[in-house]
Every structure is written in C-alpha cells, then in structure tokens.
Amino acid sequence: MEKALRRHLSQAHGMTLAVDAVTLIPLRGEGKVESRVDRLYASLLAPQVPHWRKAVRQADLVLVATHSQGTPVSTLLLDRLIGEGMVEPTRQRIGLLAMAGISHGPFPYLRGNVIVKYFEAEAARELFDFMRSDSQVSRMYREAMHRILAHGVKVVGMASMADQVVPLYSATMFGFSHPSLLRAVYVDGHDYRPDFLTHLITFLLRVRNHGIPDHGLAVHLSEVLAGSLYSGTQGHSTIYEDLGPYTLAIRWVLESPWVSPHPIAPELQAFGVSGQLNPYYLPWILRGILEDPRLRKNSSLVREVEGLKDLFDGWEPTSRAMRDLKFRLEPIRARL
C-alpha cells in the first residue's frame, strides 16, 4: 500500500512524501472473526508500539488493506476504532480495500472439502456462516459495514477473476449498496482474455457502481466461474501481490467526493445461498438490466452494451461450461 501511495502521489501530483510521512501497521492474528478483532485491537494498542496509536490518531489519511477472512475482521475493527473516536471520519479520509473478501462466504461446494471439514480449525468452517445474512457473525459484519459506510468510509470490494475460494458476488459485496462502495475485479495478466465473458463481468460491476441492480447476474456468473475454469493461476493469492488494487483504492479515497456523515443510508440486501441456481434465468436477468431506464439514460453504459453485442457474436468458448453459458444467453442477442 505504501509503495502504491508514494508512486501515485509522485506520478499524478508530483508530490514526494517524506520518509516518515507513512506509518505501516501490520496486524496479524489467527482464529475466528471476533477473536481476531480482539487480538488485532490489542496489538494496535500494545504498549510496545505506542507510535502506532499516535500515528492513527494524527493521520490525515487512513488506509486499510485486507484479504479474504480479513475483510469482516478489518470492517469490525475499523467500526470499533470509529466508535471509540480513535479514527475520526469527519477529520480524516478513510479507505478500506477488501481483496477477495468473503462478504457472503466462499464457494458453497468447498464446504465438503476434506481439509476444511477435518483438518482446518473452526475459523475455516465459520466462513460458511457468511453465506447466510441471518447468521450471528454475518449480522455483526453487516451492521459494522453499514456504520462505516454511513460515516463516509470509502470501500473497495475487489474480486479476483481467477479465484478458487471466493465467488465474484461475495468479493464484490453483492448484498451491500452505497455510493461509497466501489466494486472491481482483478484479472491477472496470464488469465486476461478480451472476450465476451470478461467484458460482461466488468460491465455488470459498472452497472452496480452506477447504483443499478444487476438482478443477480453476479451470482449466476460466479457459479459459471467456480473451480477456476477460466484460469491457470492462484488468483485468490495473487490479487494482493499487484500494485493495481492498492492504486485503485487510493484513487477512490482521494479523488472521489468525501462526505462524513454520508447523507445516503447504506442498503443491506438479505442474502442466502441455497441449492443450485436455475441457469435459464440468465436471459431474463440480463433483460432486466438492459431495460432498466437508468441504464438507457447512461450513454457510457449504452456504448458498452453495443460493444457486448459484437463480442457475443465473435465469442467462441472452448469449455463445456462456457458453451452452455453462450447457449443460454442466445435469446438475449436481440436485446444487446
């Protein structure tokens, strides 16, 4: 994060930060979500590192980078720090970068994974509780996310296209809606294919970023992408090794309007994963998006729709799953 911040300020604004202008606070801890929050909070306030607390209180900019299970942990920790007045959104700009975060749990099929079932600690099994918005840990996370967004914290929910663990809908926070939440997808260079599916995913994220519902398209595409059908890399881990996600988060915090408290209340949609999805809903889902009057009035999104039609016509998927997807989307060709 520090490297991305210094590079962005230098390249975009010609600004060079002093060596001591940035304080890195690496917080580590194992266990279930609540216990990790307590441990990280204790580490932050430990008497051995008094400069950490001082740095957080005096900072003009507070950036939190987190990954996977760390997303709910960091959200709860940040909510706690705001509640105690240790960080002040009315005075400080605050950003949370959630990379491959398990906002709605991992892929459901991993529940039967031998490692998770028999060898991993309770912390791994707890992740599946996020698949239901009414579970205790999920309610805690959702309430904390609601509060930090209401305070004006800028959040980036970034998925990895080649993720083997966390679905697209989970990492991009399908059940949360707010102007301060930016959704994005990371595509490793080895996995990038400029085809219809890649552009459809980026299109649906732009639709959500414009405040337009995707009618569940992210959920259905996540099932198609499950099992890394599209990749050859370990996308769940490579996402935090690239400077791109950090740079995007920095720009989102620094270059978008800052309001605290935010005048628009966050919306939390109930969510639950239950059984296999009906793939024949896909044409109706896409039709619902394309016929939304807000999309039709947005010239940039309309241009993207026109580009999707050309990509769909030229799309020649090789895997069975992708061929099935194209077949099921065929009825919507006339709407593109």
CATH of the domain at 88: 3.40.50
More confident residue, 119 or 11: 11
Confidence of residue 193 (pLDDT cuts 50, 70, 90): confident
pLDDT above 70 (res 1): yes
pLDDT in tens, 240-274: 999 999 999 999 999 999 999 999 999 999 888 76
Find the mean pLDDT for residues 148-162: 95
Find the mean pLDDT for residues 79-95: 97
Is residue 43 a part of any domain in this protein? yes
Q: Which residues are CB-neighbours of 91 under 8 A, at least 6 positions away?
A: none
Find the mean pLDDT for residues 24-46: 94
Find the mean pLDDT for residues 165-190: 93
Find the mean pLDDT for residues 109-131: 73
Please report where in the chains the tokens 């914290």 appear, as a residue. Answer: 153
Among 206, 201, 213, smallest CA distance to 288 is for: 213
Confidence of residue 120 (pLDDT cuts 50, 70, 90): low
Average pLDDT, the chain: 90
- How many domains, in total, are found in the chain? 1
Say which range, 58-67, 178-187, 220-229, has the weakest mean pLDDT.
220-229
Q: Within 13 Å, how many C-alpha atoms sit on residue 97's CB side?
A: 22
Find the mean pLDDT for residues 33-57: 95
Query: Distance of CA 125 to CAs 50, 111, 128, 160, Å?
Result: 35, 8, 6, 22
Sign of CA dihedral 19, 22, 26, 27: positive
Is residue 304 a part of any domain in this protein? no
Confidence of residue 236 (pLDDT cuts 50, 70, 90): confident
Distance CA(206)–CA(212), nearest Å, equals 9
Is residue 321 a part of any domain in this protein? no
Token pair, residue 258, equals: 């800052």
Is residue 202 a part of any domain in this protein? no
Confidence at residue 176, expressed as pLDDT on a 0 to 100 scale: 96
Confidence of residue 230 (pLDDT cuts 50, 70, 90): very low
Token pair, residue 333, equals: 């060709």
66 φ, ψ to 5°?
-145, 165
Find the mean pLDDT for residues 84-96: 97
Is residue 319 a part of any domain in this protein? no
More confident residue, 120 or 190: 190
Give exposure, 281-310, as e/b (b: 16+ Cβ within 10 Å): bbbebbeebbebeebeebeebeebbeebee
Confidence of residue 114 (pLDDT cuts 50, 70, 90): very low
Q: Which residues are CB-neighbours of 223 under 8 A, at least 6 positions away?
A: 167, 276, 277
Confidence of residue 111 (pLDDT cuts 50, 70, 90): confident
Confidence at residue 20, expressed as pLDDT on a 0 to 100 scale: 93
Confidence at residue 40, expressed as pLDDT on a 0 to 100 scale: 97
Which residue(s) pair with 159 in the sheet? 185
pLDDT above 90 (res 235): no
More confident residue, 223 or 317: 317
Is residue 239 a part of any domain in this protein? yes
Confidence of residue 201 (pLDDT cuts 50, 70, 90): very high
Find the mean pLDDT for residues 81-92: 96
Is residue 296 a part of any domain in this protein? no
Confidence at residue 289, expressed as pLDDT on a 0 to 100 scale: 92
> Which residue range(s) make up the domain with 52?
2-191+231-277
Confidence of residue 177 (pLDDT cuts 50, 70, 90): very high
Is residue 203 a part of any domain in this protein? no
Going by DSSP bridges, is the β-strand pair 181-186/267-268 parallel, antiparallel, or unpaired? Answer: unpaired
Among 40, 35, 130, 128, smallest CA distance to 77 is for: 40
pLDDT above 70 (res 229): no
Which residue(s) pair with 98 in the sheet? 66, 157
pLDDT above 50 (res 85): yes
Q: How many residues does the chain have?
A: 336
